A and B are shown apart, each in its own frame.
Chain A
Amino acid sequence: MLSFETFLIAPVIKIVIAVFVLLTAVAYTVWLERKVVGHIQNRWGPTRVGPFGLLQPLADGIKFIFKEDLTPPHVYKPLYIAAPIIAVMCALTSISVIPIGNAIRIFGYEIPLQITDLNIGLLIILGITSVGVYGVALAGWSSNSKYSLLGGLRASAQMVSYEISLGLSLVGVLILSGSFSLQEIVAAQSGSWFHVIPKWNIFQGQIVAFFIYLTAAYAETNRIPFDLPEAETELVAGYHTEYSAMKFAMFFMAEYANMITVACLATLLFLGGWHGPIFGPPILQAVLPVAWFFLKVVGFLFIYIWVRGTLPRFRYDQLMAFGWKFLLPLAIANLVITALVVALKS
């Protein structure tokens, strides 16, 4: 039976911690990006504020908060205000079902390292991210500006299109683990072959699915090479052209929070979650899984940034053709083959 403490107090504490950690992570992902891209482009990136520019995110935040909040006169105001809220809300909510490690015991309570463990956790994430489209689309429409509208149209079409490939690439993993619960999916990836190769899904034949997921995730989060909705050279800044100050910052946060969610999901589904070599004293053993998890997420984010620094942008028709004519059939083929192999094995 749920006690009051476990039902209310622990989740509240966890929510607060999670939001804090997430926002910090967002801020430092931005820092990481600027640093890495800077180095890729043979620059230094932020260096002035704090050591290695580590306090730069804080400075940015303060700047956004104190800037004047301009609302252009021609916008459709209710939605203009609602759009960034929707975007950031969806981005922050989806983290709630993501586990970052096994349950730990504090003060005699069994506390899972996750806000809530639903047995349809994966579906919840997919649902919330699919609703996240509205933030972008409504921002583009309510701004009442042609650049915003085009950006919004592009974003919604692109996100709806790539969501299919994304979802299909996950089905292979679901077949292997037999559950929607992220805890169980990670549990299904424990162990290793010959003590060398871990039984991560990416090594269980889902490597194609992983790359499909990677590609679709870039499109879902509007990142290079699929950042058509905010393509500076064509659309000024796309759907958030008319936004400034904190509303713009909310879009910014939503984008990076989404990146982190996607990275977490990739870690959980393909890279074995928090599984990794466990050694050392008990206290280290308790911390190591979480550390492995963060390491993998950071690695995934690094790939994100690396790709941004490397690849050029697609043309819009190329983007659509790639999604529908290449990625979708590939995802279906992967699904069919996985299903066949599993069926033949059993």
Chain B
Amino acid sequence: MNLHLALFLIFGAICVAGAINLLVQRHPINSALSLITVMASLAVEYLLLGAEFVAAVQVIIYAGAIMVLFVFVIMLLNAGEEERSGGSRIALLIGVPGMILGSTIVAWVLLEHSATGSVSIGALPGDPKKIGWLLFHDFLLPFEVTSVLILIAIMGAVVLASKPELSSRGEKER
């Protein structure tokens, strides 16, 4: 039992617990908080792998921005507890067995056929300078494309979320 494995197991357990809690909780804000827990412990897992920049960005972007948006929307819509409605038999009859089948196969393959490599703590230091170099040289085009993507997403979000009656009211005022 070395330090790396111990830390991995501790935070992995927190991760899984958070993920399961996300499923079990009926109130969305609890699910959101569980997800934040998952993300935070994932950030620690990244640190264990040496990806410190990714870990920091994970916290800042995921926990600090995306999840804040979720919490914000939950607060804004004042979402209550989940209703129990029997909407879809197919999801339960086909989807869940499919999911279980798929994950079983993947787990079996991972454990039986590819469990050869292992990683040590801080295996690959994710130095911000190197990452920046890669991002702005080797991956410049994808980077620019994603920037366009996010610009479009911003505009789309603004259009979608703006109240439709806003324009008609504006016309009335005129």
Contacts and interface: CB of A to CB of B under 8 A. Distances in A.
A and B touching (Cβ–Cβ under 8 A): yes
A123 B53 contact: yes
Nearest to A129: B64
A160 B68 contact: yes
B64 A163 contact: yes
B75 A131 contact: no
A151 B78 CA distance: 14
Interface stretch (A132-140, A290-298, A304-312): A132-140
A178 B132 CA distance: 11
Question: Looking at chain B, what size class is its interface with the partner chain?
Answer: 20 to 34
Contact of A130 (B64, B72, B75, B76): B64
B52 A130 contact: no
Contacts of A113: none
A120 B68 contact: no
B75 A123 contact: no
Nearest to A127: B59
A271 interface: no
A54 B69 CA distance: 43
Interface string A121-153: 001101110110110011011000000010011
A286 to B, nearest CB: 32
Given A79-B29, A141-B75, A160-B69, A120 B64 contact: no
B75 A137 contact: yes
B133 to A, nearest CB: 12
Contacts of A138: 29, 33, 71
A159 B33 CA distance: 18
Contact of B52 (A118, A126, A149, A163): A118
A134 B36 contact: yes
B64 A137 contact: no
Contacts of B56: 120, 123-124, 126-127
Contact of B68 (A79, A137, A178): A137
B71 A156 contact: yes
A79 B32 CA distance: 12
Interface string B30-74: 000100100010000000000011001101100111001101101
A118 B40 CA distance: 18
B53 A130 contact: no
A149 B65 contact: no
A157 interface: yes
- Max chain A Cβ within 10 angstroms of own Cβ: one of B52, B60, B65, B129: B60
A134 B67 CA distance: 9
Nearest to B129: A178
A207 B75 CA distance: 38
